[in-house]
């Protein structure tokens, strides 16, 4: 059997999108050129990290946003981040970690968690920023499962009770709980739970991914998104 590749949520999601795209990006290591959407995401994530860092240093939230420098095209995302950090502050949470890179050797996983906050019961809540239009939480359950596994591998003494997506442009949350809902501000906003079956699904995808690598057969998943794929011409030329 091939030595196991260490996986991330990006690798797993790419494999789900199209095994052949996974091959080009992660086996052949052909880098995809950043488009305007990727560049927007990078900018917003960098600003969010800057804001969180200043808050962790004890700076006042209003002063941070008053003095923040950014391109005017990011205005709606900055206002969204302002709402997000005000919600954290006004509901008594503290920022636990920001852009933390974690390696889980037991599960062959790694990844960077955008931001983790802690409530007054010493429980952790994960958030991932997205700059696109709000979508249902179901689309993101896999990556939220991966984030929970990463956090609990490094901090086994702490409970990760919820995880969510924050859409910076719209200022909207999509949150799922890993257990019963409660009075906690963010837990109470959850409309869905993440259950054992969601983790089983992650395990099944991972097993399929490793099996695909061993067989060295990366099937093309044809669909609407093919026309926008960075690897389209290469894929058509290699396989038709």
**How high is the pLDDT of residue 240?**
52
- Structure tokens that stand for 237 in this block: 């030329």
Is the confidence at residue 174, as pLDDT, over 80? yes
- CA contacts within 13 A on the Cβ side of 159: 11
Local confidence band at 1 (pLDDT 50, 70, 90 cut-offs): very low
pLDDT digits (tens, 9 = 90+) for 124-156: 999 999 999 999 999 999 999 999 999 999 999
Candidate CATH numbers 3.90.226.10, 3.40.1350.10, 2.40.50.100, 2.30.300.10; the one for domain 35-194: 3.40.1350.10
Tokens representing 190 are: 């959850």
- pTM of the predicted protein model: 0.92
The model's pLDDT over 25-37, given as tens digits with 9 standing for 90+, comes to: 999 999 988 889 9
Which residue intervals of the chain bear CATH 3.40.1350.10? 35-194
Predicted pLDDT at 239: 61
**pLDDT, tens digit, for every residue of 6-26?**
999 999 999 999 999 999 999
Q: Are 117 and 96 in contact (CB under 8 A)?
A: yes
pLDDT digits (tens, 9 = 90+) for 108-129: 999 999 999 999 999 999 999 9
Question: Virtual CA dihedral for 158, 160, 165, 170, nearest 10 degrees?
Answer: -70
């Amino acid at each position: 059997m091939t030595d196991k590749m260490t996986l991330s949520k990006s690798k797993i999601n790419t494999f789900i999108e199209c095994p052949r795209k996974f091959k080009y990006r992660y086996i052949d290591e052909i880098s995809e050129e950043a488009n305007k959407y990727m560049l927007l995401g990078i900018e917003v994530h960098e600003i969010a990290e800057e804001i969180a860092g200043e808050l962790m240093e004890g700076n006042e939230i209003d002063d941070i946003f008053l003095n923040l420098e950014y391109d005017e095209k990011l205005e709606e995302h900055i206002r969204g981040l302002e709402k997000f950090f005000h919600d954290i502050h006004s509901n008594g949470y503290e920022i636990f970690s920001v852009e933390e890179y974690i390696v889980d050797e037991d599960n062959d996983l790694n990844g960077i968690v955008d931001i983790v906050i802690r409530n007054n019961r010493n429980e952790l809540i994960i958030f991932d920023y997205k700059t696109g239009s709000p979508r249902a939480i179901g689309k993101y359950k896999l990556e939220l499962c991966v984030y929970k596994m990463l956090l609990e591998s490094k901090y086994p003494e702490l409970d990760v009770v919820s995880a969510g997506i924050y859409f910076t442009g719209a200022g909207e949350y999509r949150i799922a709980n890993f257990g019963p809902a409660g009075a906690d501000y963010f837990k109470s906003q959850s409309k869905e739970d993440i259950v054992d079956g969601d983790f089983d699904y992650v395990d099944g995808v991972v097993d399929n991914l490793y099996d695909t690598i061993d067989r060295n057969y990366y099937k093309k998943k044809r669909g609407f998104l093919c026309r926008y794929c960075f690897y389209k011409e290469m894929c058509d030329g290699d396989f038709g």
